[in-house]
Amino acid sequence: MTTTDLDTLSINTIRGLCMDAVQKANSGHPGTPMGIAPVAYTLWQHFLRFDPTDPIWPNRDRFVLSEGHASALLWALLHLTGTRAVDPDYEVLGTQAVTMDDLKTFRQLGSHCPGHPEYRWTSGVEATTGPLGQGVATSVGMAVAGQWLAARYNVGGFTLFDFNVYALAGDGCMMEGVASEAASLAGHLELSNLCWIYDSNRVTIEGHTDITFTEDVAARFISYGWNVTTVADVNDTGQVARALHSFQAEHERPTLMLVHSHIGYGSPVEDSPKAHGEALGVEAVRATKRFLGMPPGEDFYVPEGIYDHFAEGIGQRGKDGRTAWEAMLGAYRAGYPELAAEIEQMQRRTLPDGWAADLPEFKPDAKGLATRDSSGQVLNAVAQKVPWLLGGSADLTPSTKTRLTFDAAGDFQPDDRPGRNLHFGIREHASAAIANGLALTKLRPFWSTFLTFSDYARGAIRLSALMEIPVLHIFTHDSIGLGEDGPTHQPVEHLASLRAMPGLLVFRPADASEVVETWRVVTALRHEPAALVLTRQALPTLDRSELGSAAGVANGGYILAEASGGQPEVILLATGSEVHLALEARDELEAGGIQTRVVSLPCWELFDRQPPEYRERVLPARVKARVAVEQGSTLGWDRYVGDQGAVVGMHTFGASAPLKQLLTKFGFTPERVAEVARERLAGTDPAR
């Protein structure tokens, strides 16, 4: 490929739009898009299989802007390609995803050009990025999804899935640990459909990378098992194209395309950290435009013929690819109606009919089983009905009980692409980010670790909530209840911190029946992630004939045991293992003539969404003597116990000892809970 005048003009148009958007907003990062624009342009115009009129076509190539602070670059591309907006019901609308007005209102309230790319908010954004490293790690999940979809659905000579995944990353992404975790796994998994483009401008916010980052990135990626190709001159689009061809010709390894670039190219602050983080200034913008051969006085300038040029390149290629694919899907549907139906359900995030028909039922059992065990059984039942449910653990499957054990479940490896058990290795942060990538590709992923290590994955968990994607985060060993492993492994503040995350549904079921109901709720989620918080130790399976139905989980909280006379004086609230403790304390209180209700509250978020009448029925305002009990930080419980209630929780880290000793040491005994309740009853004034 040789660079034509139109190529150069297009690249400079992108640079101009980015400079102007940042200048007008007086906020943003102009230098990064200006440096890497030739690569972004070459990729989009000449390689990316993307139909701007149908940005959600399932076999499109994915482009993830991992250096999310360069969002102006993506906004310019989406604008110039005329990418259409998609509504939440997946109908392609006639409106433009990014209008000129959006560009002119970059970073302002309501603009479709926010400060960083936001999935759902602007069509054509494949993943929310901004926290450096997340985008590249997420792209690994998309590449896994591509391989898995191809293995399952490319049958009978039909190639329904063969998309590539590109991620554009800066020095910051390359420094982040999550990227290393994900790259190591991608190399092992031989994800040859994955291309990371490293925008190596050797500048970050604090200065040149010689103050922080002097490793040999190419050598590192070669050791990961990647194909590494270098572009010495970013402005030579022929070289850029050759590198992209080298990626496309590679069939065994992921590709790192290392591009030497110049932040703020053409501006007075080229190659300087000054090109970062603030507008260039009106005079510098003019000088840069002059250097680039663009009219210095024209802002948001799109030269004659540029829109047509994109329409004839990426537009035509994308449309041809998409329409051919749709025709292929038509023929496929005739030959393989069941597989075609799966693809369609998956795309809409719906479930096969009867998916919940064979969920296990658990009989009352005083000895019971750990909720990690009942959850493993339910997971296997659901997964057999939902073929695109897949996942694994960060090397703890035997402990988290998340292995899919049925015939043909398989293990996803280079030689077993349809395998549904993923092995993430000891890489929690990448596990969660990869799960995000799988969910963005419309598969239903789960991943698991110990609750205490959820902190390691928090950055990616947060993005699952922000993106509103239905990832299942499964956490076991949920409290001091895990015993001897001690305080490093005993979570304390984790429930509170997960509950603090907007949009994440946190479930802590109390027994096997609540586990079943939890899965009934979380499997059907379409736009929300969930965290399942499960025990290592056995819990009794409650006899529901005398207690509230576990179906109450769907309401987030419910009356598990009513006060004997139906008029509670005391309410005990609990989640998970402490529900059993609350029931024992209730027996003691009732024996002493105190009418006591027990409320199980497995999911605060769902309970808070119930109508006021329901919440009032479960937690009547007149009952002031309330005690919550949970083996975790007490933070947040005050909203349910009120200012006259009390919380029996954890105020320190745990300790290494057998569970029984820990329960006494930290005050999780029925006697203590009953005592606190009696104190509350004596001290509360219902009229207050």
Q: Is 203 in the site for Mg ion (CB under 5 A)?
A: yes
* CB nearer to ligand TPP: pick between 67 and 190: 67
* CB nearer to ligand TPP: pick between 55 and 114: 114
Q: How far is the CB of 68 from ligand TPP (least distance, A)?
A: 7
Cα separation, 13 vs 3, whole angstroms: 15
Phi, psi (deg, nearest 5) at residue 265: -50, 130
Q: Which residues contact 618 (CB under 8 A, 6 or more apart)?
A: 557, 558, 559, 599, 607
Residue 650 binding: pick among Mg ion, ligand TPP, none (C-beta 5-8 Å cut-off by kind): none
Decide if 380 contacts 446 (C-beta within 8 A).
no
Q: Of 89, 106, 86, nearest to 97 (Cα)?
A: 86
Site for Mg ion in 127-156 (CB under 5 A): none
Q: What is the largest CA-CA distance in the chain?
A: 90
- For the beta carbon of residue 89, count every other beta carbon within 10 angstroms: 7
Mask of contacts with ligand TPP, 20-59, x by CB under 6 A? ---------x--x---------------------------
Q: Is 64 in the site for ligand TPP (CB under 6 A)?
A: no
Q: How far apart are the first and last CA of the chain?
A: 80
Q: Is 484 a catalytic residue?
A: no
Q: How far is the CB of 136 from Mg ion (least distance, A)?
A: 14
Q: How far is CA 449 from the centre of its chain?
A: 15
Q: Is 171 in the site for ligand TPP (CB under 6 A)?
A: yes
The one-letter amino acid at 317: R
Q: Is 201 in the site for ligand TPP (CB under 6 A)?
A: yes
Q: Kindly tell me which residue out of 203, 258, 284, 440 binds ligand TPP, with binding defined by CB under 6 A.
A: 203
Scanning 200-208, 251-259, 487-495, 523-531 for contacts with Mg ion by CB under 5 A, the matching segment is: 200-208
The strand pairing partners of 648, in sequence order, are 629
Q: Is 533 in the site for ligand TPP (CB under 6 A)?
A: no
Q: What one-character DSSP code corresponds to residue 83? A: P
The strand pairing partners of 12, in sequence order, are none
Q: Kindly tell me which residue out of 38, 133, 170, 552 binds Mg ion, with binding defined by CB under 5 A.
A: 170
Structure tokens at 637: 């419980």
The one-letter amino acid at 17: L
Residue 368 binding: pick among Mg ion, ligand TPP, none (C-beta 5-8 Å cut-off by kind): none
Residue 578 binding: pick among Mg ion, ligand TPP, none (C-beta 5-8 Å cut-off by kind): none
Indicate the residue whose CB is closest to Mg ion: 171
* CB nearer to ligand TPP: pick between 71 and 371: 71
* CB nearer to Mg ion: pick between 204 and 454: 204
Cα separation, 420 vs 154, whole angstroms: 16
* CB nearer to ligand TPP: pick between 49 and 462: 462
Q: Is 114 in the site for ligand TPP (CB under 6 A)?
A: no
- For the beta carbon of residue 682, count every other beta carbon within 10 angstroms: 8
Q: How far is the CB of 32 from Mg ion (least distance, A)?
A: 7
Q: How far is the CB of 264 from ligand TPP (least distance, A)?
A: 9
Burial of 364 (0-12, 13-18, 19+ CB in 10 A): middle
Cα separation, 38 vs 201, whole angstroms: 14
Site for ligand TPP in 456-515 (CB under 6 A): none
Contacts by 316-321, CB closer than 8 A, 24 or more apart: 317/49, 318/48, 318/49, 318/50, 318/51, 318/52, 318/53, 318/54, 318/60, 319/51, 319/53, 321/49, 321/51, 321/59
* CB nearer to ligand TPP: pick between 173 and 383: 173
- For the beta carbon of residue 294, count every other beta carbon within 10 angstroms: 20
Scanning 197-205, 380-388, 482-490, 626-634 for contacts with ligand TPP by CB under 6 A, the matching segment is: 197-205
Phi, psi (deg, nearest 5) at residue 379: -55, -45
Residue 112 binding: pick among ligand TPP, Mg ion, none (C-beta 5-8 Å cut-off by kind): none
* CB nearer to Mg ion: pick between 174 and 506: 174
Encode 119-181 in three state secondary structure.
CCCCCCCCCCCCCCCHHHHHHHHHHHHHHHHHHHHCCCCCCCCCCCEEEEECHHHHHCHHHHH
Q: Kindly tell me which residue out of 7, 20, 171, 181 binds Mg ion, with binding defined by CB under 5 A.
A: 171
Site for ligand TPP in 269-298 (CB under 6 A): 276
Site for ligand TPP in 117-136 (CB under 6 A): 130-132
Q: Is 523 in the site for ligand TPP (CB under 6 A)?
A: no
Decide if 390 contacts 444 (C-beta within 8 A).
yes
Residue 417 binding: pick among ligand TPP, Mg ion, none (C-beta 5-8 Å cut-off by kind): none
Indicate the residue whose CB is closest to ligand TPP: 170
Residue 511 binding: pick among Mg ion, ligand TPP, none (C-beta 5-8 Å cut-off by kind): none
C-alpha distances in Å from residue 222, one per residue of 144, 209, 225: 20, 21, 5
* CB nearer to ligand TPP: pick between 111 and 261: 261
Cα separation, 52 vs 44, whole angstroms: 11
Q: Kindly tell me which residue out of 54, 67, 271, 630 binds ligand TPP, with binding defined by CB under 6 A.
A: 67
Residue 266 binding: pick among Mg ion, ligand TPP, none (C-beta 5-8 Å cut-off by kind): none
C-alpha distances in Å from residue 107, one per residue of 25, 97, 309, 408, 486: 7, 15, 28, 49, 47
Q: Of 64, 66, 105, 35, nearest to 276 (Cα)?
A: 35
Size of the site for ligand TPP (CB under 6 A): 17
Site for ligand TPP in 132-161 (CB under 6 A): 132
Q: Kindly tell me which residue out of 170, 391, 552, 636 binds ligand TPP, with binding defined by CB under 6 A.
A: 170
* CB nearer to ligand TPP: pick between 93 and 205: 205
Structure tokens at 257: 């395309």
Residue 581 binding: pick among Mg ion, ligand TPP, none (C-beta 5-8 Å cut-off by kind): none
Q: Kindly tell me which residue out of 74, 263, 472, 515 binds ligand TPP, with binding defined by CB under 6 A.
A: 263
Q: How far is the CB of 470 from Mg ion (least distance, A)?
A: 34
Site for ligand TPP in 326-365 (CB under 6 A): none
Burial of 168 (0-12, 13-18, 19+ CB in 10 A): buried
Q: Of 85, 3, 86, nearest to 37 (Cα)?
A: 3
Q: How far is the CB of 36 from ligand TPP (least distance, A)?
A: 8
Q: Kindly tell me which residue out of 93, 100, 155, 205 binds ligand TPP, with binding defined by CB under 6 A.
A: 205
Q: How far is the CB of 372 from ligand TPP (least distance, A)?
A: 32
Scanning 203-211, 340-348, 353-361, 559-567 for contacts with Mg ion by CB under 5 A, the matching segment is: 203-211
Q: Which of 126, 428, 514, 569 is flagged as catalytic? A: 428
Q: Kindly tell me which residue out of 138, 204, 345, 555 binds ligand TPP, with binding defined by CB under 6 A.
A: 204
Q: List contacts with ligand TPP (CB under 6 A).
A: 29, 32, 67, 69, 130-132, 170-173, 201, 203-205, 263, 276
Which residues are part of the catalytic machinery? 428
Q: List contacts with Mg ion (CB under 5 A).
A: 170-171, 201, 203
